[in-house]
Amino acid sequence: MLLAIDVGNTHIVFGLYQGKHLRHHWRLRSNRATTADEVGVFLGRLLRGIGNPSISGVAISSVVPPLTQVLVEMSQQYLKQAALVVGPGVTTGMPILYDDPRQLGTDRLVNAIAAYERTKGPTIVVDCGTATKFEYVNGAGEYLGGAIAPGLGIASDALSERAARLHRVELVRPPKVLGRNTIHSIQSGLIYGYASMLDGMVARIRREHDAKARVVATGGFSTLLVPATESIEIVDEFLTLDGLRLIYERNIGQ
Amino acid sequence: MSSGLFLAIDVSNTHTVLGIYDGKTLRHHWRLQTDSGRTADEYGVIVQSLLGGVGNPAIQSIAVSSSVPPMTQIIESLCQTYIGVTPLVVGPGVRTGMPILYDKPQEVGADRIVNAIAAYERTRDTTIVVDFSTATIFDYISEKGEYVGGVIAPGLGIASDALFDRAAKLYRVELTKPKTVIGRNTAHAIQSGLIYGYVSLVDGLVTRIQKENRVKARVIATGSYATLLAPESETIDDVDEFLTLDGLRLIHERNADD
């Protein structure tokens, strides 16, 4: 089985693939000070819980540099696998038309690859995670670039920390857009405000590039936000893991 | 008529703005950092020196709007000690001339009522105010001039600070509008997400409020990011940096009529 590991700023997500099928997935807090042994014990425990499946490969995408090495060591020591770390030199099958491809966060590229695999046409990826990231892939399957906005979670934290009279609210859709009390007003600003941000960015990207571009959403807040949007059709919580699987297949096939 | 001047003080989470009015005309304005750790004497010295710089005008009356409770007392005390005037603090009991249809009217921040009054005074019609401050605040005023409700989203400044603090590989960028929405480098991508992302948030919320209430409202923007974002917006009609100060002037007039 293939173990795909997506290291984000908030969580590390592990996905276990049998062929194309995601069989199991787990989520660990992204703690920059953690060690290979700690992660090894955590993962070993979880793998034992599902009968110790044999792992034949590991693929990693990381946007947290100090954790990349931790996971490579963990794979080596606890899974006896040399991990494939997505980065320069790894075959992805997608031309990157970024000024400096090394500057591009690997999660963004991995998402673009997974999304294009589904649509096989011009595609916009919306990743609603710690940051809200937009990627654009043209009809020829080339990565053109993107946009990065603050994520819903960190923006909502900032609002309750920095505005004297506003307290933290539950992240649910309020009855109406226009609030008649502070809680509903904040819920509206977060949910409808962020849904509007997604719709507006999709509309602007379509206007700039291709009116027929399809939209694929992922990320922790996608299931909450997408139903409030008007332009997003496809949601896949595990898009990044799936992209890692594709890249892994393209590299072992060589 | 200008034997006495009027001082408007707008205390928000990030800045405290002071404006001196001669009748309806804003003569001078200053912006200070809001810091409730400062004392009335510290603010008093700053305000005295600013007033000294414009020839020590005679202030006859003062009105204050504060969305930071610990600052209210500091400002009141500064007005009494250093200017010799007891200020009118906008809050429950102050006549505003605007019915408030909020579940609990005392929950609506003073700055929001003050903005709503100033905006409605201009339009005399259904109006949406967008205030780009620490939070991005939307207020909806009915055609009859009632304060109906609003929306509160995180402000551009605090949300972008959070992005740079919390995302390991992202660095701070200058807040300017990039040439295209899709950026080919990270700095450009962040500028696009902040500027076009925020404009999208604002336009989308305004459109949703209008659709929900089946109206086409006039949209007036104020606050520190209004001049940066309004040119890209498809819904904002006017920008007035000093809307809150102007609302304080109006409330002061309505209360001085007695």
**What is the per-residue pLDDT for B1?**
41
Q: What percent of chain B has pLDDT over 90?
A: 83
Contact list in A for residue B113 (CB cut-off 8 A) is none
Per-residue confidence band for B257, with pLDDT thresholds at 50, 70 and 90: low
Select from B254, B132, B105, B102 the least CA-distant residue to B195: B132
Average pLDDT over every residue of A81-87: 96
Q: Is residue A55 within 8 Å of A88, Cβ to Cβ? A: no
Task: Check B204 against A99: CB less than 8 A apart.
Answer: no
B104 CB within 8 Å of a chain A CB: yes
User: B155 to chain A: nearest residue by CA?
Assistant: A159
pLDDT > 60? residue A254: no
pLDDT > 80? residue A165: no
B193 CB within 8 Å of a chain A CB: yes
Three-state secondary-structure class, residue B247: helix
Tokens found for residue B220: 């007036």
* Separation CA A243–CA A148 (nearest Å): 20
pLDDT in tens, A114-148: 999 999 999 999 999 999 999 999 999 999 999 99
pLDDT in tens, B159-188: 999 999 887 677 788 999 999 999 999 999
pLDDT > 50? residue B221: yes
Lowest mean pLDDT among A55-64, A115-124, A151-160, B248-257: B248-257
Task: Tell me the residue type at A84.
Answer: L
A200 CB within 8 Å of a chain B CB: yes
Burial profile B107-118: b = 16 or more Cβ within 10 angstroms, e = fewer: ebbbbbbbbbbb
Q: What is the pTM of this model?
A: 0.91
Average pLDDT over every residue of A11-23: 97
* A225 phi and psi angles, rounded to 5 deg: -85, -40
User: B68 to chain A: nearest residue by CA?
Assistant: A164
pLDDT > 60? residue B62: yes
Per-residue confidence band for B3, with pLDDT thresholds at 50, 70 and 90: low
Q: Is residue A59 within 8 Å of A244, Cβ to Cβ? A: yes
Q: Are strands A214-218 and A57-62 parallel, antiparallel or unpaired?
A: unpaired
Averaged confidence pLDDT in chain A: 95
Element (H, E) at B224: none
pLDDT in tens, A177-186: 999 999 999 9
End-to-end CA separation in angstroms for chain A: 19
